[in-house]
Amino acid sequence: MNPLTTLPAIRWLVRDTFRQSRSAGVFWLMLAVSLACVALCLTVRIVADDSRAPGHLELAFGVVRIPLDQGTTIAVRTLEVHLAAWIADGFGLLLALLWTAGFLPSFLEASTASVLLVKPIPRWSLLLGKCLGVLAFVAVQDGLFVGGTWLALGLRTGVWDATYLLCLPLLLVHFAVFFSFSAMLAVATRSTVACVFGSILFWLMCWAMNFGRHAFLLVPELQTAAEGLGHSVEFGYWLLPKPLDFHLLLLNTLQDDHVVSRVIDTHALAERGAWQPVASLLASCVCALVLLALAAYDFVTAEY
């Protein structure tokens, strides 16, 4: 069968995922979170303390104040770092994983899937269409969050920082990597509960592995205490997706050196030749592709 003939069907699967998200309320929930953040950004204003001091940037009607010592651009960047690296890449990513965890299991349930699987469309393209649907849905929400907050901050401060928009693909790839594990669990178990807990546990495990590896390289005492573990740590680091590296990559993209203290000092890692952001990103993507391929194989050979 010509794979091109399945394209319209895949488009319908993507469309169906949006319908499912609206019906389950996930679309509106995520939209509400994005809109709340946009509304928060609309409360930003620049306040001049007195004629001599540079003043400060005020958020949420004065609840948060960021001094403008280093200029307005840096102050806005500080806000963007918090929005992208902490709210979207931490809280938002976990919420997206939780809220989309049920999409595939309900689609793969035997009584639903057995009618779909009798359609001539190849099984792998059913899974692909549904996964693309979830990614498209998250991309839209991601775009609303990043685009909305960027617009709001730009309108309120006059700082139109295009670098912030680079967070959009990074956040989406980060989600895609961990959703691939959720997809594999969905095919193997057809259980929403397994997908919810499994993907969160997997994310935590990967985060711990990622943090452990960097800490191992940066703290000499750890190397002495766990001598001989170097190769295992390195193997685990390269094998698993790297959520902390995504986070650090986001911070690097936003060039946040001026604004926040980091969990891990990437400069120190780079000096040891252990900070390879492109290789790290590619390795995470390869891991996601392997997980998706396993899910597809499992789905193609599954008995209903």
| Binding piece for other proteins, criterion CB under 8 A, among 14-22, 153-161, 167-175, 280-288 | 14-22
Helix (H, G, I), strand (E, B) or coil at 246: helix
Residue 140, phi then psi, degrees to nearest 5: -65, -45
Judged by CB, which is closer to other proteins: 224, or 301?
301
Under rule CB under 8 A, residue 278 binds other proteins? no
Helix (H, G, I), strand (E, B) or coil at 198: helix
Q: Name which of 191, 175, 182 is nearest 295 in CA terms.
A: 182
Site residues for other proteins, 24-53, by CB under 8 A, read: 24
> Running DSSP on this structure, what letter comes out for residue 48?
-
| Contact with other proteins (CB under 8 A) among 42, 94, 98, 117 | 117
| Contact with other proteins (CB under 8 A) among 109, 161, 234, 298 | 109
| Binding piece for other proteins, criterion CB under 8 A, among 10-18, 30-38, 55-63, 291-299 | 10-18
Site residues for other proteins, 65-94, by CB under 8 A, read: none
> Running DSSP on this structure, what letter comes out for residue 264?
S
Q: Name which of 141, 128, 206 is nearest 168 in CA terms.
A: 141
| Binding piece for other proteins, criterion CB under 8 A, among 68-76, 112-120, 199-207, 213-221 | 112-120
Under rule CB under 8 A, residue 4 binds other proteins? no
| Binding piece for other proteins, criterion CB under 8 A, among 2-10, 61-69, 238-246, 268-276 | 2-10
Helix (H) or strand (E) holding 59: strand 56-59
| Contact with other proteins (CB under 8 A) among 62, 112, 230, 297 | 112
| Contact with other proteins (CB under 8 A) among 48, 114, 163, 226 | 114
Judged by CB, which is closer to other proteins: 70, or 189?
189
Helix (H, G, I), strand (E, B) or coil at 243: helix
CA–CA separation, 137 and 190 (whole Å)? 21
Q: Name which of 53, 46, 49 is nearest 73 in CA terms.
A: 46
In the chain, the largest separation of any two C-alpha atoms, in whole Å, equals 75
| Binding piece for other proteins, criterion CB under 8 A, among 4-12, 74-82, 212-220, 272-280 | 4-12
| Contact with other proteins (CB under 8 A) among 79, 121, 171, 250 | 121
Judged by CB, which is closer to other proteins: 16, or 58?
16
- Token pair for residue 263? 């969990």
Under rule CB under 8 A, residue 19 binds other proteins? yes
Amino acid at 170: L
Amino acid at 108: L
Residue 47, phi then psi, degrees to nearest 5: -115, 130
| Contact with other proteins (CB under 8 A) among 91, 235, 297, 304 | 304
Under rule CB under 8 A, residue 126 binds other proteins? yes
292 burial type by CB count under 10 A (0-12 exposed, 13-18 middle, 19+ buried):
buried
285 burial type by CB count under 10 A (0-12 exposed, 13-18 middle, 19+ buried):
middle
Under rule CB under 8 A, residue 235 binds other proteins? no
Residues that bind other proteins (CB under 8 A): 1, 5-6, 8-9, 11-13, 15-16, 19-20, 22-24, 109, 111-112, 114-122, 126, 303-304
